[in-house]
Chains A and B, each alone.
Chain A
Amino acid sequence: MKKRVIYSIICMLVAGFCLAAMLTTPLKYAEYVHNDQDVVASYQADEAVKKTDTTLLYHIEQSASDYVTIKLTESMGTPIFIKVFLYEEDLENSVERFNLAVPAGQEYVSLNLTGYHYQNIELDLMQGVNLVDNMEYHAQDTQIIETSPTPSKARVLVAFLLVIAVGAGVFLVDWKFHVLDRIHWRKPDFKKVLKGVIWFAGITVVALILELAIAFLCRKLSDAVLLFNYSRFFFIEALLLIVYLFIKNKSQIVNKVEHVVFWLIMIIGMAMILILPPKHDSWDVDSHYQWALDASSLGKNYMSETDFNFYYVYSDTFAREDRQTNIADQARMNREYKYIADVYYGEISISHIPAGLGIAITRFLRFPFMIIYKAGEVMNLILYAVLCYFAVKKLKSGKMILATIAMFPTSLLMASSYSYDYWVTGFALLGMAYFIGNCQRKDEYISTKDTIIMVAAFALACIPKQVYIMFMLIPFFMPRNKIENKKKYYAICASGFVFLLISLGLRSAGSIGGTGDTRGGAVNPKDQILYILSDIPNYARIMTEFLLGYFSLGTVAEYTTNFAYLGLQEYGVSIIIILLIVVTVTDKEACDEHVAKWYTRVYMILMFICTSVLMASAMYIAFTPVGLNQINGCQPRYLVPLLYPLLAVIGSGKITNKMNRVVYNYAVLGIMSAVVMYGVYDTMLVRMM
Chain B
Amino acid sequence: MKKKIIFAMLCVVAAAMMLSMMIFTPQKKVQYIQNDEDIMGTISLSDTQKTEKDTYEFTVDGSKAEQFRTRYIVIQLDEIVRDIAQIQIYVDEGQGYQLQGKKNISILEGEQYGYAVLDMDSYRGLRIQADYQYAIATIEFHTNAPQMEVTSVTPFKPLLILGMGALVVVFFLAFFLQGRFDVLGRMKESFITVWNRRKNIFTQLMKLAIRIGLAGFVAYLISIGIHYARYGAWSCHTLMYIWTFAGILVILIFMMNRKQIEAYINRVVFLLIITIGGALIVATPASHKAWDIDSHYRWALIDSYLGRANLTQADLAVIHAYDESLVGDNPQEYQVKEEILNKDYQYVIANDYGIITLPHMLAGMMMAVVRFFGGSFTAIFHAGEWGNLILYAILCYLAMKRLKSGKMILAVVALFPTNLMIAANYSYDYWILGFSMVGFAYFLGNCQEKGTTITTKDTVIMVGALALACIPKEIYIMFLLVPFLMPKSKIENKKKYYSICLAGFGVLLFMLLVRSLATTGGTGDVRGGAVMPADQIQYIFHNMKEYAQTLTLFLKDYLDLLSVKDYTVNFAYYGVATRLVHVIPVLIIYTAITDKQPCDSYETSVLTRIYAIVMYVATAALIATALYITYTPVAELEILGCQPRYLIPLIYPLAAMTGSSKIASRMDKGVYYYGVTIVSTLILYGSIYDVVIRSMVS
Residues of chain A having any CB pair with chain B under 8 Å: 548, 552-554, 557, 570-571, 573-574, 577-578, 581-582, 585-586, 652, 654-659
> CB-CB contacts of B654-674 with A at 8 A, as 1s and 0s?
000000101111110000000
B87 CB → nearest A CB, Å:
47
Residues of B within 8 A of A570 (CB): 560
Residues of B within 8 A of A581 (CB): 586, 589-590, 593
Complex A-B: 5 CB contacts under 8 Å: A553-B561, A586-B593, A655-B663, A655-B664, A657-B664
* Pairwise interchain contact A655-B562, C-beta atoms closer than 8 A: no
Nearest CB in chain A to that of B579: its residue: A548
B581, B582, B586, B662: which contacts A658 (Cβ < 8 A)?
A: B662
* Pairwise interchain contact A657-B662, C-beta atoms closer than 8 A: yes
A553, A585, A658: which contacts B593 (Cβ < 8 A)?
A: A585
A578 CA / B586 CA spacing, docked (Å): 8
Known A-B contacts A553-B582, A655-B594; A586 and B561 likewise in contact (beta carbons under 8 Å): no
B140 CB → nearest A CB, Å:
58
* Pairwise interchain contact B562-A585, C-beta atoms closer than 8 A: no
Residues of A within 8 A of B560 (CB): 570-571, 574
* Pairwise interchain contact B666-A654, C-beta atoms closer than 8 A: yes
Name which of B562, B579, B581, B660 has the most chain A CB atoms within 10 A of its CB. Answer: B562
Q: Does B528 contact A (CB under 8 A)?
A: no
B581, B586, B663, B666: which contacts A586 (Cβ < 8 A)?
A: B663
B585, B665, B667: which contacts A577 (Cβ < 8 A)?
A: B585
Residues of B within 8 A of A655 (CB): 594, 663-667
A652 CA / B664 CA spacing, docked (Å): 11
Q: Known pairs A657-B662, A659-B660. 19 more at Cβ < 8 A?
A: A552-B581, A552-B582, A553-B561, A553-B581, A553-B582, A554-B562, A554-B582, A571-B556, A573-B561, A578-B561, A581-B589, A581-B593, A585-B663, A586-B593, A654-B665, A655-B665, A656-B665, A658-B662, A659-B662
* Pairwise interchain contact A656-B666, C-beta atoms closer than 8 A: yes
A548, A553, A557, A652: which contacts B585 (Cβ < 8 A)?
A: A553
Residues of A within 8 A of B662 (CB): 657-659
* Pairwise interchain contact A659-B663, C-beta atoms closer than 8 A: yes
Total CB contacts across the A-B interface at under 8 A: 61
Nearest CB in chain B to that of A659: its residue: B662
B561, B660, B665: which contacts A652 (Cβ < 8 A)?
A: B665
A280 CA / B558 CA spacing, docked (Å): 34
A557 CA / B589 CA spacing, docked (Å): 18
Nearest CB in chain A to that of B559: its residue: A574
Residues of A within 8 A of B561 (CB): 553, 573-574, 577-578
Q: SS class of chain A's interface: helix, strand, loop or mixed?
A: helix
B465 CB → nearest A CB, Å:
29
A581 CA / B586 CA spacing, docked (Å): 7
Residues of A within 8 A of B666 (CB): 654-656
A554 CA / B667 CA spacing, docked (Å): 30
Residues of A within 8 A of B664 (CB): 655-658
* Pairwise interchain contact A553-B562, C-beta atoms closer than 8 A: yes
Residues of B within 8 A of A657 (CB): 662-664
B663 CB → nearest A CB, Å:
5
Residues of A within 8 A of B579 (CB): 548
A582 CA / B561 CA spacing, docked (Å): 14
A531 CA / B586 CA spacing, docked (Å): 37
* Pairwise interchain contact A585-B590, C-beta atoms closer than 8 A: yes
* Pairwise interchain contact A582-B585, C-beta atoms closer than 8 A: no
Residues of B within 8 A of A658 (CB): 662-664
A651 CB → nearest B CB, Å:
10
Q: 8 Å CB contacts to A: which residues of B553-574?
A: 556, 560-562
A578 CA / B582 CA spacing, docked (Å): 12
A548, A554, A573, A582: which contacts B589 (Cβ < 8 A)?
A: A582
A659 CA / B560 CA spacing, docked (Å): 27
A636 CB → nearest B CB, Å:
14
Nearest CB in chain A to that of B586: its residue: A581
A489 CA / B2 CA spacing, docked (Å): 88
Q: 8 Å CB contacts to A: which residues of B582-612?
A: 582, 585-586, 589-590, 593-594
A87 CA / B581 CA spacing, docked (Å): 53
Nearest CB in chain A to that of B561: its residue: A574
Nearest CB in chain A to that of B556: its residue: A571
A87 CB → nearest B CB, Å:
38
A655 CA / B596 CA spacing, docked (Å): 10
A271 CA / B524 CA spacing, docked (Å): 50
B562, B590, B665: which contacts A574 (Cβ < 8 A)?
A: B562
A571 CA / B558 CA spacing, docked (Å): 11
A572 CB → nearest B CB, Å:
11
A586 CA / B596 CA spacing, docked (Å): 12
Nearest CB in chain B to that of A584: its residue: B590
Residues of A within 8 A of B556 (CB): 571
A574, A578, A652: which contacts B667 (Cβ < 8 A)?
A: A652
A230 CA / B663 CA spacing, docked (Å): 45
B498 CB → nearest A CB, Å:
33
A553 CA / B664 CA spacing, docked (Å): 27
A576 CB → nearest B CB, Å:
9
A688 CB → nearest B CB, Å:
24
A548, A573, A582: which contacts B562 (Cβ < 8 A)?
A: A573
A608 CB → nearest B CB, Å:
15
Nearest CB in chain A to that of B563: its residue: A574
B247 CB → nearest A CB, Å:
22
A448 CB → nearest B CB, Å:
35
A576 CA / B470 CA spacing, docked (Å): 33
A66 CA / B660 CA spacing, docked (Å): 74
A254 CB → nearest B CB, Å:
15
* Pairwise interchain contact A654-B667, C-beta atoms closer than 8 A: yes
A454 CB → nearest B CB, Å:
29
Residues of A within 8 A of B589 (CB): 578, 581-582
A96 CA / B162 CA spacing, docked (Å): 88
Residues of B within 8 A of A659 (CB): 660, 662-663
For the complex of A and B, the 4 pairs showing the least CB-CB separation, nearest first, are A574-B561, A553-B582, A654-B666, A658-B662
Q: 8 Å CB contacts to A: which residues of B510-565?
A: 556, 560-562
A585 CA / B662 CA spacing, docked (Å): 13
Nearest CB in chain B to that of A551: its residue: B582
A548 CA / B662 CA spacing, docked (Å): 35
A658 CA / B593 CA spacing, docked (Å): 13
A66 CA / B17 CA spacing, docked (Å): 105
A652 CA / B665 CA spacing, docked (Å): 9
Residues of A within 8 A of B590 (CB): 581, 585
A675 CB → nearest B CB, Å:
13
A652 CA / B581 CA spacing, docked (Å): 23
A488 CA / B297 CA spacing, docked (Å): 75
B111 CB → nearest A CB, Å:
56
Q: 8 Å CB contacts to A: which residues of B650-698?
A: 660, 662-667
> CB-CB contacts of B620-660 with A at 8 A, as 1s and 0s?
00000000000000000000000000000000000000001
* Pairwise interchain contact A553-B667, C-beta atoms closer than 8 A: no
Residues of A within 8 A of B582 (CB): 552-554
A553 CA / B561 CA spacing, docked (Å): 9
Residues of B within 8 A of A656 (CB): 663-666
A581 CA / B561 CA spacing, docked (Å): 13
Residues of B within 8 A of A654 (CB): 665-667
A548 CB → nearest B CB, Å:
6
A31 CA / B238 CA spacing, docked (Å): 86
Residues of B within 8 A of A571 (CB): 556, 560
A623 CB → nearest B CB, Å:
26
Nearest CB in chain A to that of B661: its residue: A658
Residues of B within 8 A of A586 (CB): 593, 663
B650 CB → nearest A CB, Å:
16
A582 CA / B585 CA spacing, docked (Å): 12
A633 CB → nearest B CB, Å:
23
Residues of B within 8 A of A548 (CB): 579
Name which of A552, A571, A578, A659 has the most chain B CB atoms within 10 A of its CB. Answer: A552
A517 CA / B582 CA spacing, docked (Å): 33
Name which of A548, A573, A578, A655 has the most chain B CB atoms within 10 A of its CB. Answer: A655
B644 CB → nearest A CB, Å:
14
Nearest CB in chain A to that of B588: its residue: A581
